Amino acid sequence: MRLKPIAVLLSLLLSLASLPARSAESLSIYAAASLTNALNAVIAAFGETHPTRVIANYASSSTLARQIAQGAPADLYISANLQWMDYLTETGVLADDSRRTLLGNRLVLVTGTNSALVPVELDQDWNLAGALGDSRLALGDPDHVPAGRYAKEALQWLGLWPVAEPRLARANNVRGALALVERGEAPLGIVYGSDAASARVRVLAEFPARSHSPIDYPIAIVRSADRPAARELLAFLSTPQATDIFRRYGFEVR
């Protein structure tokens, strides 16, 4: 007995419905911890017009670079300085022609919102030891965290590194240093200007740009992940919609 055409069509539709749905493509972006709030907002904006799911992994630039060099499944990488991007470039794991400088930042001295400390003039006469008392200065570990390295450069430029070094509260990333000040565990911290957007800290001073290396955020696609979806996200990060968000969170757009 021959099946009627409509019966054949229904049978085909039921067969297709029983197949597992194809999952949306996903991307993993490894980014410096200082980008956490801003990049989350940009990713949300990207998701409004793109089906690709973006998963962000935040840590210090050095930690992420080493993970990528060892084969971590990153599709894109954003560093908070040039050194760690150069490191990955030298290892050959980045896609050709994908590297560019995306953002910039400032270096600032912060204290807790309820602190009695007042704005200061950052020069060689600043009494850092008196401001700290028996407490410590919070910053990213200068041995591997970009924000900490910039802070060390600035303090050396001011001639205050010998005073600061034995009084450091070394954090694993700049967000950790910010948290120490937010919680009142350190009276002072050196963080990025974008971090100072926190409602729980206030800025006492901005370090002169000439006191430290330029704070740049380079971005690149990992060679093994160089595909259209990754290129779309890379392009989106430089659109007016994305750059407006970055500026709102205190970053400078390059």
Indicate the annotated binding residues for molybdate.
34, 61, 147, 174, 192
Dihedral, 69, 72, 73, 75 alpha carbons, nearest 10: -40
Binding-site members are: 34, 61, 147, 174, 192
* 58 sits in which H/E element: strand 53-59
Dihedral, 140, 234, 27, 75 alpha carbons, nearest 10: -60
With contact defined as beta carbons under 8 Å apart, do 140 and 147 qualify?
yes
With contact defined as beta carbons under 8 Å apart, do 128 and 160 qualify?
yes
- CA gap 208, 215 in Å, rounded: 12
Residues forming a β-bridge with 108 = 191, 206
Rounded to a whole number of angstroms, the distance between the first and last alpha carbons of the chain is 72
* 7 sits in which H/E element: helix 5-17
| HEC assignment per residue over 76-140 | EEECCCHHHHHHHHHHCCECCCCCEEEEECCEEEEEECCCCCCCCCCCCCCCHHHHHCCCCEEEE
